Every structure is written in structure tokens, then in C-alpha cells.
Structure 1
Amino acid sequence: MNLSVPRRVTAAAALAALALAGLTGTSAAAGQAAAVTPPDIPLANVKQHLADLQSIANANGGNRAHGRTGYKASIDFVKAKLDAAGYTTTLQTFTSSGATGYNLIADWPGGDPNQVLMTGAHLDSVTAGPGINDNGSGSAAILETALAVSRAQLQPTKHLRFAWWGAEELGLIGSKYYVNNLPTTERSKISGYLNFDMIGSPNPGYFVYDDDPTLEQTFKDYFAGLGIPTEIETEGDGRSDHAPFKNVGIPVGGLFSGADYIKTAAQAQKWGGTSGQAFDRCYHASCDTTANINDTALDRNADAIAYAIWSLSTGTTPPAGTVFENTADVAVPDNGAAVTSSVDVTGITGNAPSTLKVGVDIVHTYIGDLVVDLVAPDGSVYNLSNRAGGSTDNINTTYTVNASSEVANGTWKLRVQDKASIDTGYINGFKLTFP
């Protein structure tokens, strides 16, 4: 890293997701359910990749830095594994500081070429050491995840692309070169870029990039399933390879376990480890070896990467104008308690839109008596009508609500209360339309 410039989805959950797409009830559906369940990334495999990168550094002057033989050997090592696993690999060259640099791009066959989910990590180290946490950890984790895609013969909805960047430590040179040389039409096809830079720090924290709400929530959901609190990543914000993507408008997200900043007492209390010490005391130093890795953090973050890739690339995205509706009548008592009509929203990725359409159909003889609210799954309340309309009969209209701070999936309620006497009515229908 350049600072100078539910643990798994269950098979039942996967089957439920397939039911939404009308795929259950056949043996083929059961096979697909297994395929879309995010795997447990074997920690031993990730650590073996790190041991191999350490051996490469040992054989090449103690580092894997840009322009050094250790870096080219690292690229060749990763490329050979991906080629054998069925990826289409491309070696992109550039020049920096008078030396040839290399980016490795690996595409998994299939998926929508107009919706590319891209995952990347920088592969170079500084000259001072082998760079096993920075950033062998991210590089090894996405390598093993890519190999897991191959083992599963995953058939994602989106096209999957993985990248290992060169010369990050000199100022994001490799990733900038890739983005700057990518035609605008190709940039527009990248639906998201996930970056992993230092995910096995020995005194770890659990930091999530907050650049894109959907990508951020995906990682938060994973760690929430483990009961692990997260914090927003600010230590290296904009100083790793997601920055060039973000700068051209591509949604970005990622994970980070901390570098040379100091862990606070509050952070040690919730994550363990030692307060008053750096997350990684060997940051950019010769001691950044295989001994400089926290296995628990590496394991959790590697599994989180797989969770995100499977979730974001295989989920069925409902088409534009998807409607969730409840047409059951609900009586509204005269000058009585509030009543609700509910809809269960499923299959929507990320947060609700800023233009959520709320269809309200209330039969009532005096709508000036009524307070009408939309209640989000977390209990947040959005008032739609507060005793407006006087003696007019009935509310049959569509409201537009900025619900972008709410997670889309969950139970949404239309809440109606009659605040005065004499007139009565009922909820005739309630629907949410996602644009």
C-alpha cells in the first residue's frame, strides 16, 4: 500500500434466491444453488501463495519491487496458476522510473460483457522487503478466490475480471495506466471495482471502503453475519489502486486491515490485539515476511472477498420497474390505533433508490383525518401525508421517497392512523416500485 502520496450464504438462502428467478423445483436448480453459494476460501491455500511469494523474494534480493526480478517472477507465478485454471490472461506493460512494469489481467469466461465486476490488488512490494502483508495478502487472497471460481465452474450473471497491479508503491502507476488506457466505452462496462490492499495485518482492524453504498453494504453485511464491527477505511483513502477507478466514476469498494497508524484502546476492545501499537509494525520494512500475518484476519477477509464476488456477480437483479405489492384490505379504525400493510422486498442489491415510488390506495370518507407513513425495514419513518386533503374522499396516489439511506431488502410497511372521529375507511392497496 502506498501511503506516501452472515460468514457464508447457506444453501437454503441460495435456493430461496433461485426461487425468485423461478428456477427451483428441478435437479438443475439444486446444482445451481450449490454453485452460487459463496465458498469458504481455504486459509492454507492462501498461506501457501504467500509462502511462494516469500520464496520468490528470497531468491531475488529480498523484495518483489517494480523493475526488479522478484516482481516479474511474482507476475509469472500468478499468471501460470490462472492460465492452468482456464482464465484468459493478458500481460499489460508500461514504463516507470526507466523500468518495464507489468499488470496482469485475468478474465473468467462468460457473464454479461456489459456488466464487468472487477477485483484487484497490487502485487509489487517496496524495495526494503518482500511485502507479504503489503500486498502479498491481497494478491494471494484474490488469486485463491479466482481459483475457487474455477473450481466451482461458476457461471455468474456478470463478467468476472481479476487484476494484479504493478508499481503501486511508486504512486499507483500500474492501475492508473490501465484506467487511462481503457476506452470510455469499456470503462462504462465496469459495474464495480473491488480493491484489496493489506488484509492480513498482524494487529488487525476491519475497515471497509465507504466509496459506493452497495459495495460497502455487501462487506458490512458479511462482517455483521460474523458479529464483527467494522469501521470506515480512512487511513489510506484514495492511496491505493481503487483511486484511478473512482476518479473516472466507476463504483469502488474494498477492505483493509491497517498499516502504520496506531490502534486505539476502543479498537483493541472490539477487535482484540494491542492498543498503542501500529496495525502493521512492519509496514514497508524488511520484516514484512510470512511471519507478519494474522491468520484470523487473512481468513476472514479472504472469505469476505468470495462472499462479495459471488453475491455481486451471481445475484438476480430485478428488472427496471419491479413492483412489490399488497392488495389485502386493512380496516382503518375511526380515531383509533395505527394499522399497517406490509410488503417484503427481496432480490434488490444494495440500498433503496432515491426515487422509490410508493403507491398508496386508501378508501376513506375524510382523508384530512389521516396520517400516512412509509416505515422502512429498520424502523425509519417517511411521512407521506399528515392530515392533508380535508374532506376529500380517498387517497389514490404515488409518492416519491428518497430512501437511498435504507437497505432495500426487508419488510416495508404503509402505516395509517385515523386521528379524528366520525369517518372510516380501509387500506385498499400498497406497493413499492423500484426504478
Structure 2
Amino acid sequence: MTHSVHRRTAALTAVALAGLLAAAVPSTAATTTAAAPSAATSPAALAAPDIPLANVKAHLGDLQSIASANGGNRAHGRTGYKASIDHVKAKLDAAGFTTTVQQFTSSGATGYNLIADWPGGDTNRVLMAGAHLDSVTSGPGINDNGSGSAGVLETALAVSRAQLNPDKHLRFAWWGAEELGLVGSKYYVNNLPSAERSKISGYLNFDMIGSPNPGYFVYDDDPTIEKTFKDYFAGIGVPTEIETEGDGRSDHASFKNVGIPVGGLFTGASRTKSSAQAQKWGGTAGQAFDRCYHSSCDSASNINDTALDRNSDAIAHAIWTLSAGTTVPPGDVYENANNVSIPDNGAAVTSSVTVSGRTGNAPAALAVGVDIKHTWRGDLVIDLLAPDGTAYRLKNSSGSDSADNVITTYTVNASGESANGTWQLKVQDVAAQDTGFIDSWKLTF
């Protein structure tokens, strides 16, 4: 359409001009590699670990067992909810978090919020992530919201395993009585002194992230948080839509209403998946995203593993990125900052870095930082080539991904590869009309 063509034409002109400017200015970098590794100076350069789906599913199994042993639900004021709080708290305590159980009263029953703080980071800049832990009385609430609760829990445990040392202070929360009107999160926010509220740089909310007929929805609230999630999903070739079904109906609203930046993820509830959405995401058109929403069948079998896995990884990506965290000690960075033009609908091109002086194999969470300027990133297929030629797919092409540029960090399990040798970033443009170039890329060991 006219507007789209104008955007693409303007973007092509910009890329062409950038290429002319790059050609006019001689580069002082080495042709294929950085002269030597350097300590990571940007905390955001380090990628989040892959969150093991099996671990998240194990947490869901625990919540199902708790519900089954307590009348079939984990609702506010019921024994199943208190058992859920105690279970999550025990895992966090063992992982080194400082936990606090906050009590409140709603509908004549005692409710509980669980707050878990990770030691360190600037306590004047707090990044929070949370999920409601209660179910409705009619079922065990495994998607709503065991899924979000389990994803946040496993991300918190991954922070502990990595001994993350973020710039910002990390705080995780599990809310009570959300199903009665966001009661627990409202209580928490309303009882925070204004000085403490001002320290919260962002709140990330995760309510239903494993719907059995899933969509991939991102909250359109804070632009930085929204972009962080959208960039992650674009990097794995999954299109997203703006979340509208539950806007203001989950715990992020308690924070948003007092001016705290918010964002989050959602895979859909009772609304019906359209034909266009089914074509884009798979699943069944004409059927609810979650047919068991607020029903007794919202059990351990009411989960889409792929959606749960992707969203759990996205949670970790956001925590690592937005907290600007680093692991200790920082890794060595090998970078190639020379521009490599990517021909339109043409042959693949490569850019190389040489790693030397290391012992053993590459890490299981090798961070691959990519900065590619391109006017239609859906055209691009990106691979990491190990020294022995083994290809690790970083990004597939997607005709619906019309955004510009690929600027993100991927994580590759390269533990089967020798660390030393020449690694290559391989990029191919597989569709016509748009061009770009590899601006830079790096490996962080």
C-alpha cells in the first residue's frame, strides 16, 4: 500500500546513504577480528539464560498437586492458596532471596502477597516482576495463573543460579486475591510510601502465558518495556500483537495507576482466535485462546508447552536486559565492527571473529550480540557458524515481520564446540525490495 511503499523507499534511501558514508570513512578496525578480547563493559551485552521448560512445568505440577490436595483450587482464603505461597517461598529462601509475606484482609479472609528481593543492585532503581498466584474457586488455575507464577519463579531461580549482579535491584512478587479485583497488588502499592514508589523503575506483569490455543500479546504501556519484549519475539521469528483483552484487568494496573512504568505478556483468555491469528500463530481459529478460562479444566493439561517456553524465556530476557545485569566475573568479548553489505534477495554473507587462548569448549549459554541495519528484518535468515562449520539458527525469515533492524542478543548452547577458532555470523536476505548491512556483532564468553 502507499504508506508502506513510502516507508520502504525512504528506508532504502537511508540505508544507501549510510552505505556511502561508511565507504567514505576508512575503518580502523581489524578486517575480520578484534585484536584481543576485552572485558564486557556494557552489562546489557550479556544474554539471559535459556529457561528450562521442564523446570517451569515442574512448578506447574507442584501447583496442581497443591490444588488437588486442597479441594481442587488455590483461591484466596482457601488452604490451597496459603500452601502455594509457602511452597514458592521455600524455593526462594533456599535460593538466597530475602522474602517477605505481606498479609491483608479481603472478603473476610486473610490474603497473602509474597515479595522476594535479590541482594544487591541499586535500591533506588528497582525492577519488579510479578504474577498473581491465586486461582478462582472453580479450578486449580494452572494457566490462570500458575503459568505466569511458574515463569516468574523459574526466572528468579535462574537469577540465583547465575549469581546475577545487576545494576538495578531486582524484586519479584506473587500476588493474592487478584481474582477478586487486584486486591493484593493494590494493597502492596497503596501501602508503599511515595518515596518507595518512586524507586520502582518498572513493573513487569505475567498473567496467563501458556494458553492452550495461544496468541502472543505484548502490553503497550511503557515504550522501553514494550520494545524489549517485541525485540525478543522478533528475534525468534514470532510476530506479536498488542494486548487488549485484559488491559487494566491484571495486577499491572495497580502500578500503572500510580505512575509506575509497566509492561507484560499474555497468551489470551476467553476471546476467540481469528483466522488471521491462527494463520500467524498456528492453533485453531474460531476457538477461545483458553477454553478452560476460569473453569475446572484449567489443569496441568491446559498448557501449550511452546507458548510457555517462549514466554518464560522472554521473562528472563526482559529481566536481564532491563536490569542491565552482569554475571560475575564478566565474560570476554570478541567483536567484529566492520560493515558487511547484505545483498537484496541474494547470496548469504558472513562476518568472522577469531577466538584464541581459551581452554575447553564454548559455554552452554554463548551470547551472540547482533547489530544488523535492515529496512525489512523479516527478510533475514541469521545463523552462527562454529569453527567446525556447525550452524546454529538464530533467526528465521518471516513475511509478516516488517520492522527495521535486528539489534538483539541471542543465546546459543555451544557447549559441544571448541571455544578456539574462527566463528562466523552468516546472514542471508531471502526476499526482494530491501537491503541492509551487518553493522557489528560479538561473542561474549
Q: State the TM-score bracket (shorter-chain normalisation).
A: 0.5 to 0.7
The aligned residue for residue 120 of structure 1 is 130
1:258 to 259, 262, 268: 268
The aligned residue for residue 180 of structure 1 is 190
* Partner-residue secondary structure (3-state), 1:117: strand
Q: Assess, with a 3 A threshold, how the Cα gap between structure 1 residues 148 and 32 changes in structure 2: closer, same or farther.
A: farther
- Tell me if 1:209 matches 2:219: yes
Q: Tell me how far apart the structure 1 counterparts of residues 315 and 182 of structure 2 sit (CA, whole Å).
A: 22
Matched AA of 1:256: F
The structure showing larger relative contact order (alpha-carbon pairs under 8 Å, at least 6 residues apart) is: 2
The aligned residue for residue 227 of structure 1 is 237
Give the deviation of 1:407 after TM superposition: 9.3
- Tell me if 1:271 matches 2:281: yes
Taking the TM superposition and a 5 Å limit, the aligned residue runs for 1:144-163 are: 144-163=154-173
| TM-score computed with the length of structure 1 as normaliser | 0.66
* Partner-residue secondary structure (3-state), 2:323: helix
Per-residue CA shift, 1:359-403, capped at 9, x if unaligned? xxxxxxxxxxxxxxxxx9869xxxxxxxxxxxxxxxxxxxxxxxx
Taking the TM superposition and a 5 Å limit, the aligned residue runs for 1:382-401 are: none
Q: Tell me how far apart the structure 2 counterparts of residues 218 and 30 of structure 1 sit (CA, whole Å).
A: 21
Matched AA of 1:220: K
Q: Tell me how far apart the structure 1 counterparts of residues 61 and 212 of structure 2 sit (CA, whole Å).
A: 16
* Partner-residue secondary structure (3-state), 1:307: helix
Give the deviation of 1:37 after TM superposition: 2.1
Give the deviation of 1:143 after TM superposition: 0.2
Q: Tell me how far apart the structure 2 counterparts of residues 407 and 90 of structure 1 sit (CA, whole Å).
A: 43
Give the deviation of 1:35 after TM superposition: 9.6
2:73 to 51, 54, 63: 63
Q: Is the 8 A contact 1:35 1:152 kept in 2?
A: no
Give the deviation of 1:25 after TM superposition: 6.3
Q: Tell me how far apart the structure 2 counterparts of residues 91 and 63 of structure 1 sit (CA, whole Å).
A: 21
The aligned residue for residue 73 of structure 1 is 83
Q: Assess, with a 3 A threshold, how the Cα gap between structure 1 residues 192 and 213 changes in structure 2: closer, same or farther.
A: same
* Partner-residue secondary structure (3-state), 2:74: coil
Give the deviation of 1:283 after TM superposition: 0.2
Matched AA of 1:221: D
Give the deviation of 1:34 after TM superposition: 11
Q: Is the 8 A contact 1:36 1:154 kept in 2?
A: no
Per-residue CA shift, 1:42-73, capped at 9, x if unaligned? 00000000000000000000000000000000
Taking the TM superposition and a 5 Å limit, the aligned residue runs for 1:294-373 are: 294-314=304-324
Q: Is the 8 A contact 2:375 2:405 kept in 1?
A: no
Per-residue CA shift, 1:125-171, capped at 9, x if unaligned? 00000000000000000000000000000000000000000000000
Matched AA of 2:311: N
Q: Which protein has the larger Cα radius of gyration, Structure 1 or Structure 2?
A: 1
Q: Tell me how far apart the structure 2 counterparts of residues 315 and 33 of structure 1 sit (CA, whole Å).
A: 5
Matched AA of 1:189: K
Matched AA of 1:87: F
Q: Assess, with a 3 A threshold, how the Cα gap between structure 1 residues 72 and 115 changes in structure 2: closer, same or farther.
A: same
Matched residues, percent identical? 81
Q: Is the 8 A contact 2:144 2:298 kept in 1?
A: yes
- Tell me if 1:43 matches 2:56: no
1:102 to 112, 116, 120: 112
- Tell me if 1:88 matches 2:98: yes
Give the deviation of 1:287 after TM superposition: 0.2
Q: Tell me how far apart the structure 2 counterparts of residues 169 and 130 of structure 1 sit (CA, whole Å).
A: 13
The aligned residue for residue 147 of structure 2 is 137
Matched AA of 1:231: E
* Partner-residue secondary structure (3-state), 1:250: coil
| TM-score computed with the length of structure 2 as normaliser | 0.65
- Tell me if 1:244 matches 2:254: yes
Query: What is the RMSD computed on CA atoms of the aligned residues?
Result: 2.4
Q: Tell me how far apart the structure 1 counterparts of residues 165 and 322 of structure 2 sit (CA, whole Å).
A: 13
Matched AA of 1:249: G
Q: Tell me how far apart the structure 1 counterparts of residues 270 and 124 of structure 2 sit (CA, whole Å).
A: 39
Per-residue CA shift, 1:306-338, capped at 9, x if unaligned? 00000010169xxxxxxxxxxxxxxxxxxxxxx
Taking the TM superposition and a 5 Å limit, the aligned residue runs for 1:400-415 are: none
The aligned residue for residue 165 of structure 1 is 175
Q: Assess, with a 3 A threshold, how the Cα gap between structure 1 residues 157 and 409 changes in structure 2: closer, same or farther.
A: farther
The aligned residue for residue 191 of structure 1 is 201
